[in-house]
Each structure stands twice: as C-alpha cells, then as structure tokens.
Amino acid sequence: MEHYNMNLTLKVWRQKNKDSKGNFETYKVAGISSEMSFLEMFDVLNERLITEGQEPIAFDHDCREGICGMCSMYIDGKPHGPWQQNTTCQLHMRAFKDGDTITVEPWRATAFPVIKDLVTDRSAFDRIIQAGGFISVNTGNAVDANALPIEKRKADDAFAAAACIGCGACVAACKNSSALLFVGAKVSHLALLPQGGPERKTRVLDMITQMDKEGFGACTSTGACEATCPKGISITNIARLNQEYLVASLTASE
C-alpha cells in the first residue's frame, strides 16, 4: 500500500465544560502520514498545541485496538468516521485525501452530556447495566464449560450480541438518540443463555425503565444504529428486546 503525506484542515468542537457554550475551532495540520490512525493524528496536533502554549483537545481513548469503544468521535457526520464496522482508533488517515477539511464533534445526545471538547459522559450506559445487565451465580469453583448444553443457533446469536462494546455510536447515529440497540444487545445476550434465566423478566423491565429515566429517545426504525455500529450489532436484537419486554410486562405478576 502506497504511503503518502497530506495537509488537512480540521474543524474541531471545543467546549470548556458541560455548562459552557461550545464552538468550532479550525486547525491546520501538515505532513500527516496516510498510515497514522485518526487518534495519532490528534496526538500530533495536541503536541503542537501544547508546544505553542495552547490547551490540547480533550478526547476519549484507551486501548486503541478497537476493543473498548472509548474513542467516540463524530467525524464528518458519522460516528467513528467513514469506514464501516470500525472504531475511531482503527480509522487510518488514508481514508482521507490531501487538502480535505474534516469536521469532528462529540456524540450529540441529552443522555450523553459533553464533559469537555470531544469527551462525553456515557455513564448512562453503566447505570442501565447496573439496573439489570447481570446474572446470579453461585460462588465457588467454575462450572464446566460443557455442563450446560446450548443450541448452536442461540449460542451464535448470544455471542454476536455480546460483541457490543457499549461505545454509544448507535445513540449518536439515531435522530432520536435511542439506546435500544445497546439495550437490545445486552438483553439478548443474557436472554438467549440459560445462565440468564433467573432474572430474565426483571432484567428487561428494569433496564428499559432505567433507559427511559436517562432520557434516551424512542427507536426510529431507520436502521442507522446497525449501519454505524463498529461491531455490526443487528437490529434483530431490538425486535428480541421488544418481545422480551412484552412477555415480561404481561407476566410480571406471575
């Protein structure tokens, strides 16, 4: 693959804190390698800003391997940028051309308030998990992996749902800022497995209640969440979530 350098213009959202009114600032970056990751490009810019005595741009990052989901940036109108099923840290600068202007914003959702610049508070997801995204297990020795036979189709579907990294791209992509793909993946993962059986009804009711309390919107049924999910989580998980919620609602008193 041919390596080349490029000069770019960045329009980056700057916001001092959640109570401040933010605005776009324009930065020129030169000599950016096509093989840099998007976050490495921001590292270069921040090193320059620090050298010049300016405030560096705050952004989330951790593993930089597409695992943790921390790298939440809205790039040119799309969460995580132009590549499909990709996180921002795995987006490379060869996705852009020399002379491009790139607009970078934080996630936009009432439930994800901006902390600073491109950093948002996504602890609403943590509270949804705390409300019901767990199972009851006995302490002691681990149960043998083959002790509970599970139908392959269900095991495959549960594994696919469990791939959700909780980055929030689905919320950022949805015009209603819905969290149903995230919640659907978490509920599906456990509902499909026998280990999730004891809390199956209370789980979905509690997680949906917490989701609504956090201020997430309703599903728009456009599929934007699935299209932008870096792990390709299917919207069939939303259908399963609705089914689980309906059954739990109708049989809650049993």
What are 53-87's pLDDT values in tens digits?
A: 999 999 999 999 999 999 999 999 999 999 999 99
CB count within 10 Å of CB 36 equals: 18
Contact predicate 207/186, CB 8 Å: yes
Domains along the sequence of the chain with CATH: 5-105 (3.10.20.30), 123-250 (1.10.1060.10)
Three-state DSSP string of 84-152: CCCCHHHCEHHHCCCCCEEEEECCCECCECEEECCEECCHHHHHHHHHHCCCCCCCCCCCCCCCCCCCH
Chain centroid to CA 79: how far? Answer: 9
For the record, the structure tokens of 147 come out as: 């002790």
Q: In which band, very low, low, confident or very high, does the pLDDT at 17 lie, cut at 50, 70 and 90? A: very high
Environment class of 26 (CB within 10 Å of its CB; exposed 0-12, middle 13-18, buried 19+):
exposed
Q: In which band, very low, low, confident or very high, does the pLDDT at 137 lie, cut at 50, 70 and 90? A: confident
Predicted pLDDT of residue 135: 87
Q: In which band, very low, low, confident or very high, does the pLDDT at 192 lie, cut at 50, 70 and 90? A: very high
Give me the chain's average pLDDT, please: 94
**103-to-25, 26, 99, 201, 237 alpha-carbon distances in Å:** 10, 9, 13, 43, 32
Better pLDDT: 1 or 177:
177
Predicted pLDDT of residue 254: 62
pLDDT of 29 > 90? The answer is yes
Dihedral (Cα; 120, 174, 203, 151), 10-degree rounding:
-120
pLDDT of 145 > 70? The answer is no
Environment class of 182 (CB within 10 Å of its CB; exposed 0-12, middle 13-18, buried 19+):
buried
Contact predicate 245/184, CB 8 Å: no
For the residues 139-152, what does the mean pLDDT come to? 78
Predicted pLDDT of residue 147: 79
Query: How far apart are alpha carbons 156 and 150 in whole angstroms?
Result: 10
For the record, the structure tokens of 193 come out as: 């497995």
Contact predicate 11/29, CB 8 Å: no
pLDDT of 1 > 80? The answer is no
Predicted pLDDT of residue 253: 63
pTM exceeds 0.85, yes or no: yes
For the residues 192-220, what does the mean pLDDT come to? 95
Predicted pLDDT of residue 148: 80
Better pLDDT: 139 or 204:
204
For the residues 127-133, what does the mean pLDDT come to? 96
For the residues 225-241, what does the mean pLDDT come to? 97
Contact predicate 21/9, CB 8 Å: no
pLDDT of 44 > 80? The answer is yes
Query: How far apart are alpha carbons 144 and 62 in whole angstroms?
Result: 33
